[in-house]
Amino acid sequence: MRELAAILYGICTLFVLGFQFGLILGKPWGKYTMGGYRTGSLPMIMRIAPLISILILTSFSVYLLQHVGLLHQMISFPSFYKWIILAFNSLAVFSNSITKSRKERKLWQPVTIVMLILSLYLILG
């Protein structure tokens, strides 16, 4: 069951990564991110945030897949890294719950809730 949860977390991550790559490439999805203040594409300087998000979320998936034994030890993470994952996922749920952008909230709140539940199960379960 833990393996399935890690795979589902990875699938959610792939969905988010696809979105983030789209933002970097200039897709007009500004209403679905960063509070929805931008319509259309993000300015070049704001495309740094999706790049950072890609790196962070990829590391979370690698950690969780290693944690359940689905990936060989590729990267050695510090013991407290699991708490960073839980804090980040909790913050994602919170920020997507309070965003003024209805479109952002409708898209990302369910995704971030699922990712938080899966990470809680994998780390604390």
Angle, CA 68 vertex, CA 60 and CA 115 arms, to 5°: 40
**Residue indicated by tokens 């590391």:** 59
Q: Could you state, in order of their start, the residue ranges of all structural domains in the chain?
A: 2-124
What is the tens place of the pLDDT at every residue in 91-106?
999 999 999 999 999 9
pLDDT of residue 98: 94
What is the tens place of the pLDDT at every residue in 22-37?
999 999 999 999 998 8
| Spans of the chain below 50 pLDDT | none
Are the C-beta atoms of residues 58 and 37 closer than 8 Å to each other?
Answer: no
Are the C-beta atoms of residues 10 and 61 closer than 8 Å to each other?
Answer: yes
- Output the pTM of the full model: 0.92
Q: CA of 51: how far to CAs of 6, 17, 24, 68, 110, in Å?
A: 23, 9, 7, 26, 22
Count of alpha carbons within 13 Å of 91, Cβ hemisphere only?
A: 6
pLDDT of residue 105: 96
Are the C-beta atoms of residues 28 and 41 closer than 8 Å to each other?
Answer: yes
